[in-house]
Structure formats: structure tokens, C-alpha cells
Amino acid sequence: MLKVVVKAITTPRQRQWARQVLGRLRPRWFHPAGLGFVDRFDSFLPPYRLHLGCGSVRLAGFCNVDALPSPAVDVLDDIRTLRRFPDGSVQEIYTCHVLEHFAHDEVEPLLRRWRDLLQPGGQLRISVPDMDRIVQVYARNFDHFQKPGHTPWIGLIYGGQTTPYDFHKTGFNACWLRYLLERNGFTDCREYPHVPHFVPGTQDASLVKEPFGEFLSLNMVATRA
Ligand SMILES: C[S@@+](CC[C@H](N)C(=O)[O-])C[C@H]1O[C@@H](n2cnc3c(N)ncnc32)[C@H](O)[C@@H]1O
């Protein structure tokens, strides 16, 4: 009934505008940090540096983007689309422990979206849980995982599962990630060191090494061809 009335008194253009506005507001209604959220998109100018899936990690000099609000977030957006950022307007993208949150068939379209956003020569830095490191460290510490109460790295492999955005749906090693990047418009794909963090002083999931003191992330930098 309400739908019929709304349709009768509005134009398609007005309804499209309302859908866009409501779509932007929705994450704030469902999240405790959302009520006070202030969108800071307008305080950034191209060429942008984007920190995608920032969670609670705020990087100075970057536009920090996430689907869920937190004090670290500048822009609430779905990082698969990022419609407010024009193609070719971005000089650098960093995304840490985020790519594994997408299904297998979403990963390549996502990489292509990020390629289109980047200027030629722009850089993409990706950090993900490294399946090669995980199996090696797991095997070296096999006995630890046989003790009651020690999870077999369920969080690292399947995600924290605290929000609908916090589930791991795929996994990577260096060979697979390089292959996907090269297929989707990136060159010069190489691993970069965990420390020092490329943004000095940053503490994020790229540095995870608990509980055995060995790094568990794969950090790769690639150039937009
Ligand atoms: C494991 S957290 C990583 C947070 C931070 N980068 C770090 O290293 O601590 C993954 C983040 O990706 C965000 N995320 C997942 N899917 C997303 C999507 N489609 N659009 C925007 N953010 C998304 C989640 O909300 C979450 O904050």
C-alpha cells in the first residue's frame, strides 16, 4: 500500500535519489558507532590515496573507507564499487586483510575495479593471510594445536565472524595472488617486507605473528599497467 502511494506521488528520479540516500544511511542505523558518523569525503582531493577495509585503523594521508562506521572511517562505502571515486583518480590503494573476505568469483572483478580507479603507474598494496606461511608454521607447531582449548587458527583462516563483513571466503599464496593481479591489469607484482610498515608506526593485521613470533601475512605491491 505504502509502495503504491509513494509511487503515485514521486517521479522515478526522486525515488532513485531517495534509494541512494537511504543506502548511504543504512549502515549507520545498524551500527552503534553509526549515529555520530561524519562523512569526510569532501575533505579529500584527487589524486586520492585509499585505505580500503580500514576497520579501526586510521592511516594519516589516506581516505579510510569501510562498509561499517568506526572513528577511523572517513567514507562509508562498499569497496567493490566505490562510486564516488572517478576512474583514474587514485594514486595509491592499500587494503589489509580484506581481499579474503570476498568470494572466489568476486576477487577478479574487485581487482579490475581497483585497477580502473588507479592512475597508470599507481600502486596497489595488498596484505592477506598467507596460506603458505600458515601451513608451514602450523606444521612446525603441530603439537600446540593438539592441546585442548587451542583453536586450529579458526579466526585466521575463516575470519573473526563478528559482523557479516568479517567472514573469509577465499585464500591466497604469493603465486596465486600474483597470477590474479597480472591477469587483471597489474605489473611488477612483488612481495614487500612486513617491517617497517610502509606507513611508519602503523599497527594492523599485516603484522600479525601470534602466537609463534612468525609473520603470517603475505604483503604484495603491484603497479597499475
Ligand atoms: C579483518 S578487517 C581488517 C581491518 C584492518 N584493515 C586491519 O588490518 O586491522 C576487514 C575489514 O574489511 C571490511 N569489509 C569487508 N567487506 C567490505 C566491503 N564489501 N566494503 C567495505 N568494507 C568491507 C570489514 O568491515 C572490516 O573492517
User: For the domain that residue 84 is a member of, what is the CATH number?
Assistant: 3.40.50
Q: Is 73 in the pocket of ligand 1 (CB under 6 A)?
A: no
Q: Under a CB-based contact definition with an 8 Å cutoff, are residues 193 and 107 in contact? A: no
- If asked whether residues 117 and 180 sit together in one domain, one would say yes
Q: Is 78 in the pocket of ligand 1 (CB under 6 A)?
A: yes
pLDDT of 9 reads 74
For 180-198, write each residue's pLDDT tens digit.
Answer: 999 999 999 999 999 999 9
- If asked whether residues 150 and 80 sit together in one domain, one would say yes
pTM of the model: 0.87
CA distance 191 to 221: 6
- If asked whether residues 78 and 19 sit together in one domain, one would say no
User: 29 pLDDT band (50/70/90 cuts)?
Assistant: very low
Query: Which of 98, 125, 158, 219 has the most ligand 1 atoms within 8 A of CB, as the residue to mutate?
Result: 98
What is the whole-number distance in angstroms between the Cα of residue 207 and the centre of ligand 1?
A: 16
CA nearest ligand 1 atom 13, residue: 53
Q: Is 205 in the pocket of ligand 1 (CB under 6 A)?
A: yes
Task: Provide the number of structural domains found in the chain.
Answer: 2
Q: Is 129 in the pocket of ligand 1 (CB under 6 A)?
A: no
CA distance 223 to 185: 9
CA distance 78 to 81: 6
- If asked whether residues 43 and 15 sit together in one domain, one would say no
- If asked whether residues 178 and 128 sit together in one domain, one would say yes
- If asked whether residues 94 and 132 sit together in one domain, one would say yes
- If asked whether residues 184 and 103 sit together in one domain, one would say yes
Question: Which domain does 144 fall in, by range?
Answer: 33-224
- If asked whether residues 84 and 121 sit together in one domain, one would say yes
pLDDT of 36 reads 81
- If asked whether residues 4 and 54 sit together in one domain, one would say no
The neighbour count for residue 118, using CB atoms within 10 Å, is 26
- If asked whether residues 123 and 178 sit together in one domain, one would say yes
What is the whole-number distance in angstroms between the Cα of residue 148 and the centre of ligand 1?
A: 31
